[in-house]
């Protein structure tokens, strides 16, 4: 861990990612709550989430090629600038039509679809493939802190000053992120040159292939569960727990506390565990904890109890996410990482949209508790898919992962600055 943070390029990306994710969490928490309070409709909230995810699916091929063809640092800085511009209409607050809020969410999602694969693909360039799992663990640490800070700030600023205060906080965090990305990074490894006309479908073929097929299925199930959560969480806090907008931000944010411990564990103790096992066991644990949370209101609705439980569920979520990302990065290789990761993110965005639509359409029919239990069981199922693949081929997978690392070392030249 000390070695990674001692690498100037990775350390600067690490801090920049913190501010970028803080900004993202502010909007992720504030906008669904804002729309639910303004319209009183879970369907409207679900529609806003879907419209925010659709561009990530449609732009996936373009995002992957951009991440593989151009300097990834410059791509990230340009995305920060674009996100700052497209969010400006939200400063109108209550005077802004709901349709315009949808448009802003869609534009933000389109830009984020470029940012995420470029950032994830940049990590192996800065630390080397052999340290990528530890680096992802550290990225999860600042992601957890960003969730805590951004989730709390989004809910608190919305409840205190309205949507325009949320936007001002968002712009300040983005400005810090962009400043840190403005200067070149020193890289540990250089990716192989990408053809002038790269294969747009390389990501789809890789995810459908034998090495990543089970991982992709697990990610799809997980993202469906996440989509259901995005809609049902607001209903759970405001209607079942009788909480406030600030309570919603607090509960989303405190997951970061458990995520902090898990991120440090992945960066140190768990760095030699097979990534697919991290993914599988993390998902099973997250699903079981979620079952406990969703069925507890019959006994108590005390906010403090749920603060503790949401802290706990943040840990397995970080472990599973780091395992998924590390496995995909190792299998994709430096030259195709952008396209494979963008396709993975598109798959997850599509699953999240499907889960959001399902929850929004059925919540009035079944009630939120039934769907929340389905959401938790989807996490467990996703974990079992990953574990079934990993345990049957565990020895072969470890040998194959080692071969992948060795091949990448041989194919990557030494350090340079860009």
Rg of the chain on CA atoms, in Å: 20
- At 417 the three-state DSSP class reads strand
What CA–CA distance (Å, rounded) separates 204 from 119?
Answer: 19
Q: How many CB atoms lie within 10 A of CB 357?
A: 18
Residue 152 and residue 5 in contact, taking contact as beta carbons nearer than 8 Å: no
Residue 257 belongs to a domain: yes
CATH of the domain at 318: 1.20.1250.20
- Check residue 306 and give its pLDDT: 92
Is 192 domain-assigned?
no
Helix (H) or strand (E) holding 341: helix 337-366
- Please spell the DSSP secondary structure of 6-49, one letter per residue: TSHHHHHHHHHHHHHHHHHHHHHHHHHHHHHHHH--HHHHHHHH
> Which secondary structure element, helix H or strand E, spans residue 137, and what is its range?
helix 132-161
Q: Are 14 and 127 in contact (CB under 8 A)?
A: no
What per-residue confidence (pLDDT) applies to 95? 73
Q: Is residue 416 part of a domain?
A: no
Domain assignment present for 193:
no
**Residue among 12, 273, 256, 18 at smallest CA distance from 133:** 273
DSSP-derived 3-state class of residue 243: coil
Q: Quick one: which of 259, 320, 251 has its CA closest to 285?
A: 320
User: Where in the sequence is the domain holding 297, given as residue range(s)?
Assistant: 2-183+199-411
Instruction: Give 416's DSSP letter.
Output: E
Q: Do 151 and 249 touch, CB atoms closer than 8 A?
A: yes
For residue 159, tell me if it sits in a domain. Answer: yes
What pTM was estimated for this model as a whole?
0.64
The answer to whether residue 330 is domain-embedded is yes
Which of 280, 408, 395, 397 is closest to 332 using CA atoms? 408
For residues 94 and 56, give the distance between their C-alpha atoms in angstroms, rounded to a whole number.
27
* Cα(28)–Cα(52) distance, integer angstroms: 10
The answer to the question of residue 299 being in a domain is: yes
- Look at the chain and report how many structural domains it folds into: 1
Which residues are paired to 417 by β-bridges? 186
Is residue 173 a part of any domain in this protein? yes
Sign of CA dihedral 47, 50, 52, 55: negative
Q: Which residues of the chain have pLDDT under 70?
A: 1-3, 5-6, 42, 45, 49, 52, 93-94, 129, 187-203, 253, 267, 269-271, 333-337, 389-418
């Amino acid at each position: 861990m000390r070695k990674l943070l001692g690498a100037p390029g990775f350390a600067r990306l690490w801090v920049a990612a913190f501010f970028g994710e803080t900004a993202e969490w502010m909007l992720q928490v504030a906008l669904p709550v804002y729309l639910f309070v303004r319209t009183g409709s879970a369907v409207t909230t679900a529609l806003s989430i879907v419209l925010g995810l659709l561009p990530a699916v449609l732009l996936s091929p373009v995002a992957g090629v951009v991440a593989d063809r151009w300097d990834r640092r410059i791509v990230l800085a340009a995305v920060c600038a674009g996100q700052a511009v497209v969010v400006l209409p939200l400063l109108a607050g209550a005077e802004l039509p709901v349709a315009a809020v949808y448009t802003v969410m869609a534009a933000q999602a389109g830009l984020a679809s470029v940012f995420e694969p470029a950032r994830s693909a940049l990590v192996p360039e800065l630390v080397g493939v052999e340290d990528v799992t530890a680096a992802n663990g550290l990225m999860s640490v600042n992601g957890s802190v960003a969730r805590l800070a951004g989730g709390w700030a989004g809910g608190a600023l919305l409840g205190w000053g309205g949507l325009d205060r949320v936007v001002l906080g968002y712009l300040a965090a983005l400005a810090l992120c962009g400043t840190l990305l403005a200067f070149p990074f020193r890289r540990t490894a250089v990716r192989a040159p990408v053809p002038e006309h790269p294969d747009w479908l390389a990501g789809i073929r890789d995810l459908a292939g034998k090495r990543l097929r089970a991982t992709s299925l697990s990610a799809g199930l997980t993202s469906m569960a996440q989509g259901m959560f995005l809609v049902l969480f607001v209903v759970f806090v405001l209607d079942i727990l009788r909480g406030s907008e600030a309570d919603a931000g607090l509960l989303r944010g405190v997951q970061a506390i458990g995520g902090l411990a898990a991120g440090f564990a992945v960066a140190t103790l768990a760095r030699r565990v097979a990534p697919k096992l991290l993914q599988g066991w993390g998902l099973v644990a997250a699903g079981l904890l979620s079952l406990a949370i969703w069925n507890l209101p019959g006994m108590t609705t005390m906010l403090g109890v749920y603060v503790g439980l949401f802290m706990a569920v943040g840990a397995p979520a970080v472990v599973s996410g780091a395992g998924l990302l590390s496995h995909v990065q190792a299998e994709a290789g430096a030259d195709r990482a952008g396209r494979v990761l963008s396709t993975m993110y598109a798959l997850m965005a599509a699953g999240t949209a499907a889960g959001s639509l399902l929850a929004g359409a059925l919540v009035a029919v079944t009630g939120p508790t039934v769907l929340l239990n389905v959401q938790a069981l989807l996490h467990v199922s996703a974990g079992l898919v990953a574990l079934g693949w990993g345990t049957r081929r565990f020895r072969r997978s470890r040998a194959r992962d080692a071969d992948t690392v060795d091949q990448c070392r041989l194919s990557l030249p030494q350090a340079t600055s860009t």
